[in-house]
């Protein structure tokens, strides 16, 4: 198991996952058949958004249709004999604060058929090392209150529960936990 920078050389496994129904929630998008075709047609442009250290890519569309500024980010594919999911780190330069539309510094998702193998824990710990190398004092990770598996992943990565809150309206107002992982 490892984290890899997305590339055309390993994209076939990613497309297979999308066609099996994988939805990359960590990137804040839902992938449709139309999106898969567009990604395949211009995979290089798609990959450019994965290491956007200057937040130079297009605006992000929220579920309610609002368009907001993209944050600087790094995204890696979780790899375990093929594509197993993705993990992203987002930040604002010079602060640990995040805008209202980004609830946590790190988001991750493991494909359904490769869960319960420790991949999410491995990926979260690895991305925390990346955040630490960037001199971030901590990262925050949010999970829905009923997502006990994700809570265990965060706790195994030394996450401390700092609050239970209701997500904003544009994120379906679900009850969630915010964890902080000190680096």
Q: Helices (DSSP H) in the chain: which residue ranges?
A: 11-19, 33-41, 43-48, 119-133, 148-156
Per-residue pLDDT, 48: 77
SS3 68: strand
Q: Give the list of residues 6+ apart from residue 69 with CB closer than 8 angstroms, or none.
A: 55, 59, 60, 99
The answer to whether 7 and 43 have CB atoms below 8 angstroms apart is no
All residue ranges of the chain with pLDDT < 70 are 24-33
Per-residue pLDDT, 92: 95
H or E segment to which residue 182 belongs? strand 175-182
Predicted structure pTM score? 0.90
Q: Where are the domains of the chain?
A: 2-137
With CA atoms as reference, report the closest residue to 25 among 138, 109, 146, 106. 109
Answer CATH for 2-137 from 3.30.200.20, 3.40.630.30, 3.30.60.50, 3.40.50.1820: 3.40.630.30
pLDDT in tens, 137-152: 999 999 999 999 999 9
CB atoms within 10 A of CB 168: 13
With CA atoms as reference, report the closest residue to 138 among 175, 72, 91, 99. 91
């Amino acid at each position: 198991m490892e984290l890899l920078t997305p590339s055309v050389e390993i994209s076939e496994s990613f497309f297979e996952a999308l066609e099996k129904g994988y939805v990359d929630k960590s990137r804040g998008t839902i992938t449709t058949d139309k999106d898969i075709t567009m990604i395949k047609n211009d995979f290089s442009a798609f990959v450019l958004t994965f290491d956007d250290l200057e937040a130079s890519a297009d605006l992000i569309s929220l579920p309610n249709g609002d368009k907001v500024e993209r944050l600087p980010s790094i995204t890696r594919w979780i790899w375990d004999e093929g594509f197993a999911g993705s993990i992203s780190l987002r930040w604002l330069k010079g602060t640990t604060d995040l805008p209202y539309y980004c609830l946590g510094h790190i988001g991750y998702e493991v494909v359904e058929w490769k869960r319960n193998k420790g991949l999410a824990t491995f990926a979260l710990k690895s991305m925390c090392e990346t955040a630490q190398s960037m001199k971030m004092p901590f990262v925050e990770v949010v999970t829905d209150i009923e997502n006990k598996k994700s809570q265990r992943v965060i706790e195994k990565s030394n996450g401390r529960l700092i609050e239970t809150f209701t997500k904003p309206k544009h994120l379906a107002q679900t009850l969630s936990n915010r964890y902080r992982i000190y680096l």
